[in-house]
Structure 1
């Protein structure tokens, strides 16, 4: 069984999530609940849970404040929030799970399945540490890492080492400066949103490039970007060609 603590300042939300877990996720055992960050910290230190179902926005100390207060957290986290924009960019960047209120049962089941794999593999600490570093920054950092969860393991990759990304249906392949390729089961638009502050450009419906690795643009057809390291040609859509040239100052 996977031991869990539910943390939410609204008792009715705790009761609702606890009932959903009992009904649909038998592998989760709720060992405690808390309505504040301080109360939750005491429970975490006492019960040492495998996972927290953590509300982000709470009066006083929020969910992120709670995580900052714990040295070397040895648990996984599912963030539960009614606010899609509040801190979710950092959560996505670290490949951590979150649920939006009201909770969808299918999403809950899917999330618990991923948590079970993560708990068994004990791979959550690096992702949590990545999240906390992100939250403490006020602007993009060229040394920032992004979590890339593949079927076998989750890689923490420096953003500057990503040359380009290519989509295929709901999958995205990352091409790195060292020649490695990672296939991620998430659509490209999610990474477009995450990586645009770091100088990435959506040059085509299926392609996202790191402009730091663009060496030139070919004018044949609608245009192609030439990437260093791989020396590969990445297509540019006709609609984006002029704006891409302006962004790259080519």
Structure 2
């Protein structure tokens, strides 16, 4: 298969994953990627030349395999692909759900879905005081004093909530600036939230960023 044929098949089939050889007839495996605008698929390069590994990284390939292909390395690549695709689809579902709910709840009442083991809560974004992470779990603290433990990492929600004036003040904490009442200048600093006088730490690395966002 030529590079041009590979490009045509990619456009027509819209795959999740593309395995590309690097030396190809006429052109090489990098050429189809150069001609595509913001490709959404994962790429694994297959080559007999280790020197191509640097170029594979430059093109943000998920992985590259050296010929002759070792079965254990192939299995490891497949595991990487499964994890990457699952995370990507999860992020898309979250983004789509938030967008859908936003369109249905105009006027400052955007809602976000918080799925727990028993049920999925639809919570107005403005009612979220803060979020706190623990490994791959995130606890949402709400204005009514309740909390929701969600089995998803904090960074997924940071991406969704940042446009609604949430800020990451610490590796483990994301806060809604709507509910920040003051900043306490102890240690590297703390944010005081207006529901239950909750005290949230600010990391040293984020202190300047937090102050600039809060116009202090």
Q: For the superposition of Structure 1 and Structure 2, which TM-score range results when normalised by the shorter chain?
A: 0.5 to 0.7
**Of residues 178, 186, 200 in structure 2, which corresponds to 1:212?**
178
Q: Which residue of 2 aligns with 1:161?
A: 127
Q: Structure 1 residue 230: deviation in Å?
A: 2.2
Q: Which residue of 2 aligns with 1:184?
A: 150
* Alignment partners' CA distance in 2, 1:164 and 1:210: 6
* Alignment partners' CA distance in 2, 1:107 and 1:83: 10
Q: Structure 1 residue 199: deviation in Å?
A: 0.3
Q: How does 1:17-166 map to 2 (within 5 A)?
A: 82=40, 131-134=99-102, 142-166=108-132
* Alignment partners' CA distance in 2, 1:147 and 1:11: 32
- Is residue 142–residue 198 contact of structure 1 (8 Å, CA) maintained in 2? no
* Alignment partners' CA distance in 2, 1:109 and 1:191: 16
**Alpha-carbon deviations, 1:47-103, whole Å to 9, x = none?**
xxxxxxxxxxxxxxxxxxxxxxxxxxxxxxxxxx9469xxxxxxxxxxxxxxxxxx9
Q: CA RMSD in A?
A: 3.8
| Counterparts in 2 of 1:136 and 1:104: CA distance versus 1, 3 Å | farther
- Is residue 115–residue 121 contact of structure 2 (8 Å, CA) maintained in 1? yes
- Is residue 173–residue 182 contact of structure 1 (8 Å, CA) maintained in 2? yes
- Structure 1 residue runs of 5 or longer lacking an equivalent are 1-8, 14-80, 85-102, 115-126
Q: Relative CO higher for 1 or 2, CA cutoff 8 Å, sep ≥ 6?
A: 1
**Alpha-carbon deviations, 1:131-177, whole Å to 9, x = none?**
5344689xx96310000011111000000000000000010000000
Q: Which residue of 2 aligns with 1:193?
A: 159
In the alignment of these two chains, the number of paired residues is 144
- Is residue 137–residue 152 contact of structure 2 (8 Å, CA) maintained in 1? yes
TM-score normalised to structure 1 length: 0.48
Q: Structure 1 residue 244: deviation in Å?
A: 1.0
* Alignment partners' CA distance in 2, 1:214 and 1:248: 9
Q: Which residue of 1 aligns with 2:212?
A: 246
| Counterparts in 2 of 1:192 and 1:109: CA distance versus 1, 3 Å | closer
TM-score normalised to structure 2 length: 0.55
* Alignment partners' CA distance in 1, 2:182 and 2:14: 57
* Alignment partners' CA distance in 2, 1:161 and 1:173: 14
Name the SS for the 1:194 alignment partner. Answer: helix
- Is residue 137–residue 151 contact of structure 2 (8 Å, CA) maintained in 1? yes
